[in-house]
Structure 1
Amino acid sequence: MKIVGLMSGTSYDGVDVVAAEFTADGDTLRMRPLGHRGLDYDDALRESIGALLPPAATTIEAVCRLDNAVGEVFAAAAAIGVELAGGRADLVVSPGQTVFHWVEGGTTRGTLQLGAPARVAARVGVPVLADLRSADVAAGGQGAPLVPAFDALLLDAAGGPRAALNLGGVANLTVVAPGAPVLGYDVGPANALLDAAARRFLDRPCDLDGARAAAGRVHPRLLELLLAEPYYAAPPPKSTGKELFHGGYLDDRLAILGEPVAPDDVLATLTVLTAATVAAECARHGVTEVVAAGGGVRNPTLMFRLVELAEGRWRLRTTDELGVPAQAKEAYAFALLGWLSWHGLPGAIPSVTGARRAAVLGAWTPAGPPHGATPPTPPRRLVVEP
């Protein structure tokens, strides 16, 4: 099967596009990457997403407009994916843009992703799998993270505990170990607060290459205040996003601190916050290796801090060494989830999400006969039988 996978994360800067060919070989699934691309959101769309995200108030009209605007971008991305697949794909996995993750008292009550899957199906003419998180939420899970299903199949735990790390807007960790259930959860902010600080202090979308953070100095009191966040001490399963770690969150902490902090020092401190929270979890699980992916691996300052805090206890490398481009790993993971759902297999891992049962993920938007079936003759009339 040729599957197009799409992904837009908590950084909401654009859509990652991949195409992959999957072949089942007994209990081994072989994935052949066919290429990856990125399609950026324009400034107006990024502003519209940011204006709708918590803690901002919004209207149902704004949600409807954004749903269709994001759907048009996902549709264009899907068309690129079909090209990468050689002009033909069997399905597209279009998870949409998460705009709200409703967590109350440690329990996920709902989740909302925008992206008008009907627009995607209309553009490419193949079935589209969307709304991948809701089935797990309905089964009592967090609906996130979902990528551990990919990590658990990719990583070999025989050599000792290993971890897969994704450094997107949020840092996600998957831990595999011999004879133990797979663990996976959101550790805390990766780029979410860094990007918020860059927009606030530099008027830029990000601190490119972590250059300003490298020029700054860690502010001990600010770091201590940030590390006091209760989320870090909460046990998994747990998930988070920009409903917690947003620009207002950073503003509140700086206000509590009550003293000015130079922009470069804020960025340096936030970089160490991400590295420290990740390193603490890796140490807790005793991992021997961390395989990283996501936009954060392009930040040499963040990667340096991770190596520094590892203190030689674990080795850090990227998924590129395993044949999976680090910038596109999550999109490939969603392509895999599409393969699983197409075959009626669960994609969420209960030991990760906390669900009562393993759920088959997603809702299908058809674009013709399902699963390649031949359609019946179109009916011309309806007869009601007694």
Structure 2
Amino acid sequence: MTKTNEESLLFTRVNKDTQALPISIEDWEKQAREVLPDGPFDYVAGGSGAEETLVENRTAFSRWAIIPRMMRDVTNRTLGISMYNQALRTPIFLAPVGMQTISHPDGELASARAAAAAGVPFVASTVSAHSLEQIAEVMGDAYRWFQLYWSNDREVSASMVRRAEKSGYSAIVLTVDTVMLGWKRRDFRNGYSPLREGRGLANYLTDPVFCSRLPDVTPENAVEEVLKNIYHPALNWNDIAFLREHTHLPILVKGILHPDDARLALEHGVDGIIVSNHGGRQMDGAISTLDALPAIAEVIAGKIPLLLDSGVRTGADVVKAIALGANAILIGRPFLYGLAVAGEQGVTSVLDTLIHEFDVAMALSGSNSIADLNRSILARL
């Protein structure tokens, strides 16, 4: 981003935006709490178990401090990166989040439109409330990836990957940390399951292979078939080869936390890694993603793209994650809070704030580009 008249920009934002919409993620969350019922809110905001990992994802960022560099002429900054030969405006992605209609009736369509307008890549979930084709249609030519939940019926997985490729998605993100469902106390207390409500069926009910497995194509039958297939304890590294047979797109694995798994990913020809603990929604007591990142970055050593999600809330967080080895980051809960409060406008506002905050943080760190962000500007507290 080239510096123009930032004081004027700030004045405009303060006078036009802040009176109507929140600025901080904490305020977005408070307003989302006011508009959403207990079940949907806790599903979005909560984690598994005692939610220690949920908290630790944020605490980990506070253990690193940025050491600003001075007198470096940061007039002409750029936030852009290149990934898989695609020029991207910023290193910020919208993470795959399913069943977004629990937050707002427009769900993924609103989030996808906001991402497209902001030049931010959107990662569509297997369990979205709108089909991957519908999401692609509202995004036009905007950059997008498809996140795959592996199915015990491997032909269903192959079918969805083929559909994504046909619909203009540019990469496949295989989530590998959901072989079992995390133990979410809040959902148990609320007796709430959006999947049971049929919220995440769009990609299944539009998939010819999946529908061919049903005696009758009804939401009730589809829910039972999804539940039978979506948790896959047998998933292993050899399944990457099967996936490769059905797509020419880059394949990323999401959910890596151990450096030895990063080595295995390289050995099996994976094209990218997302360091993720599912936002603290799977294994409670797991390592935070930011703490896991440096060792994984050392293994990857720039061979393939390395992304991080879970816990990113501010522009300074983005700087820290990139300085510790990530090429890009993904946000989840922040944009869902924006979606809940103000639909597409809310997602747009959350992204706009984060991108500008990142630009300011990068400039004040003394950096002109993503390449300038490295461990030398950080101190471990």
TM over 0.5: no
TM-score (norm 1): 0.29
Q: Which has the higher contact order (CA 8 A, sep 6+)?
A: 2
Identify, as 1 or 2, the structure richer in helix.
2
Identify, as 1 or 2, the structure richer in strand.
1
TM-score (norm 2): 0.30
